[in-house]
Chains A and B, each alone.
Chain A
Amino acid sequence: MLDYATLRVIWWALLGTLLIGFAIMDGFDFGVAGLLKVLGRDNEERQVLLEGIEPTWEGNQVWFILAAGATFAAWPMLYAVAFSGMYLAIALVLLALILRPVGFNFRGKIHDPRWASLWDWVLTGSGLAVMLVAGIAFGSLFLGLPFRFDDDLRMSWHGGFIDLLHPFALLCGLVSLSMLLAHGACFAAMKADHAIAARAVATARWATLVFAVLYVLAGVWLAWGIPGYAIVGPAATEGVSNPLYKQVAVGSSWFAGYMRYPWFWTAPLLALAAAVGVQALVDRRSVAGFLASSLMVGGTIASAGFALFPFLLPASLDPRSSLTVWDASSSRGTLQLMLVVTAVLLPVVILYTGWVYRVMRGRITLDQVRKAHGGY
């Protein structure tokens, strides 16, 4: 029987794992979709790129659905505040996610270049929108979100869509965009016909370089330009899940956690080392480059999560209302049950996902695509 504080930390780590899983697995789909018109010069080339992700994108997207579902179960207040507060941003992401399944399915159902091109644009647009909005939303957490709770723990939000567009948040949006474009390009380099893969290698190198510069820039800005949040006094790590029982001071540094737990530095260092790895490995056009970009994605998200710890959603209007790991979780019973369920089922999921990738392995060539579609 684990104590409440430990369960909360485990669920914080699991939330991070699911987000990283989403960013790695679904991120390359978004990246490839976003680069569809850049890497694929004609309909056949775009067909090759899409066939690379077609057999598996649907399972990949479940990482996001699961991250939302697990947040609902383990961090209900986080789910409620984030989804209702950033209402229109989430609605935009939702729209992008709705159009993807039908886009993949419907694109090839009518043989007309205009029809295919329409869905290419839909997939490109939805990929770009999700990558950008996800980064902006994550970045705006460091600025604090304009919400507060009343005594019934009903949240009220005082801001609109435009308020999310702070320059720092926009910078984070670009970090996310360049990171996932690089990741998608690494996948294309591994999976697509060599004619396309050559272009993907160049794109991956550029995008990784841009990412590394912006990422460091965001870190510097965060260290010197953005005040951190801190819980006043010792945190009630075993306390009830009611954010209003604590006091929060604004003005410290978001790097306080890094000073306290030096091992946190492994995350940003991993991200940067992996960026170097992408530069070195991507022209092998093998799984090595893709693994490097996956580590880059994982390290980046972990570094942001570490900086926030123990905060989940800082509240700028009323800092006391901020959601933290210690006061926004589900009850102990729910965390415990969900931990058991996840520990049993997630490895099974990873196992059969691995099997599917193995079955569908191999480079998609232009010849294959021409042959398969010549029959119509």
Chain B
Amino acid sequence: MIPIDTDVVTLSRLQFALTALYHFLFVPLTLGLVWMLAIMESVYVMTGREVWKRMVQFWGVLFGINFAMGVATGVTMEFQFGMNWAYYSHYVGDIFGAPLAIEGLMAFFLEATLIGVFFMGWDRISRIKHLLVTWFLALGTSLSALWILIANAWMQHPVGSEFNPATMRMEVTSFSEVFFNPVAQEKFVHTVSAGYVLGAMFVLSISAWYLLRGRNLDFAKRSMTVAASFGLAAALSVVVLGDASGYTVSLNQKMKMASIEAMWHTEPAPASFTLFGIPDVQQRTTHYAVKIPWVMGLIGTHSIDETMPGIAELVDAAKGRIGNGIQAYDAMLMLRQDKDNPQAKATLAAHDKDLGYALLLKKYVDDPRQATPADIQKAADSTIPNVPVLFWAFRIMVGCGFYFIALFAFSFWKASTRTLDSQRWYLRLALWSLPLPWIAIELGWIVAEYGRQPWAIEGVLPTALGVSSVSAGQVLTSLGGFVFFYTALAIVDVFLMLKFARKGPDGLGIWPPAITAIPSDRP
């Protein structure tokens, strides 16, 4: 066993977190904006009114800038498992690789191939064909999210697989369980809805800015109307299905749920929801807690009589699983000497679901079989994620979610009554709400992924064991490169976005059509 270099683990995690969070600044905007383009172009094809085509072209310019950033930063994700998480790739590639490869074949190829025709094919194909291209582009982006989230859901809830001691890895037993993982379905709906909210907010905010400036009035009001209705549907979906996502979390990742709640001990059912409080990790208590009775039990179990386990009880359960895991580990080593040892086979079969818990001990002792009770206690305690971060990240995200429902409902009412530009405070509110969906989305990923720690694959493979045999210096080099180039690209991206948003459809000569210049519709 090669000793795990903790610097490499820390740097690799930091690099993955930064590149993933950065990538997800662009993906949700692509996910949301592309459907708005599809809706606008559909209206154009149905009504034949030129303004709708020009709306697609104008928002398409901003979409194109964002799409390039999403593609560029997505390549990193596909490479990084092999580069920085080689043992992870070996250990679960049999299952985890499949959805990633299918994503490439089914979705990424589709969107990447059609994007060129979307931008440059306006005069080369018929209206209907171009509309189909836009719809397939939208379908491609959502399918891409589906397959990536199937892969991610398997990390949260590893179904349809078992450990094979001969190959020292997890192998698939049922792909239908992996593909129809209930966590994947809820994650998919929750995540794409969040992207739709972001796309709608993007159009709403920039349009509100035009109205505040008294520019592009007709163009902006139409855009806001589409954004308000699409955004309201998406915001309702993201919160309602966020609840379903909470329900799944509580079944599969009780520890994550207990940490989000800072529920240090099991409460009698139905548990109360802590609206506010200061979680104290040392004392394992939450100070100044403001609790709403019953709500947590209802969200978490959809019942009034099921209890939800607290952190202390889950740590005790982890201790038991570590004990079983040590037996499985011992059996695995015996099978390495004699692959037909019937007793070892039986022991491994009985406890292979807990093998991952023995691997948690590798952080403290080379051979898990030599672990002392103190090591086992440390390993069990390490299953608690960072409670204060999860507690606050979750609350800010949910708060944003309810705010989006209110804002889009109000926008929808104003669009229906044709009073979008009647109150400047509303337009300002819409403008300044622009960063909120990004904040909510990034916090959502922090809850999902940071909340899964110390596991890379829940209950199967601890994160620290998944790293490559690379040096800290190598990871530092690549991390430095990412920070430098990603910062440079972010500056260029924001600069171009602001430049084209400021120019607007009038400045770019896209609308009104009196100015005969050709629109900049190249990607």
> Using a CB–CB distance below 8 Å, which chain A residues touch chain B?
54-59, 61-62, 65-66, 68-74, 76-77, 79-84, 87-88, 90-91, 94-95, 97-102, 104-106, 108-110, 150-157, 240-242, 330-331, 333-334, 337-338, 341-342, 345-346, 349, 352-353, 356, 359-360, 372, 375-376
Contact = CB atoms under 8 A, between A and B. Distances in A.
Interface in B1-52: 1-2
Most buried by B among A100, A150, A152, A375: A152
A80 B90 contact: yes
Interface of B: 1-2, 64-65, 67-69, 71-76, 78-79, 81-84, 86-87, 89-90, 93-98, 100-106, 108-110, 112-117, 119-121, 124-125, 164, 166-169, 171-173, 175, 336, 468-470, 474, 477-478, 481, 485, 489, 492-493, 496, 499-500, 509, 516-518, 520, 522-523
Nearest to A371: B518
Contacts of A155: 86-87, 90, 468-469
A274 B78 CA distance: 34
B496 A106 contact: yes
Given A62-B112, A98-B489, A334-B175, 12 more contacts: A61-B75, A65-B78, A66-B109, A68-B79, A72-B96, A87-B470, A90-B83, A94-B75, A105-B65, A334-B171, A338-B98, A345-B106
A54 B120 contact: yes
A102 B489 contact: yes
Given A155-B86, A375-B518, A69 B78 contact: yes
B83 A91 contact: yes
B120 A62 contact: no
Contacts of B104: 62, 65-66, 69-70
B100 A87 contact: no
B182 to A, nearest CB: 20
Given A83-B79, A83-B83, A98 B485 contact: yes
A154 B87 contact: yes
B82 A372 contact: no
A110 B522 CA distance: 12
B469 A156 contact: yes
A341 B93 CA distance: 17
17 contacts: A65-B74, A65-B75, A66-B108, A68-B82, A74-B101, A83-B86, A87-B470, A88-B474, A94-B83, A109-B65, A242-B168, A334-B95, A337-B172, A342-B105, A345-B106, A349-B113, A356-B116
B523 A376 contact: no
Contacts of A100: 72
B97 A95 contact: no
Contacts of A157: 469-470
A338 B101 contact: yes
Contact of A55 (B102, B108, B120): B120
A360 B115 CA distance: 12
Nearest to B516: A375
Contacts of B64: 105
B166 A242 contact: yes
Contacts of A330: 93-94, 97, 171
Contacts of A55: 116-117, 119-121
A157 B1 CA distance: 14
Contact of A81 (B86, B100, B493): B86
A58 B113 contact: yes
B83 A87 contact: yes
B86 A359 contact: no
Contacts of A97: 72, 75
A201 to B, nearest CB: 26
Contacts of B78: 65, 68-69
Given A84-B469, A91-B478, A153-B169, A346 B120 contact: no
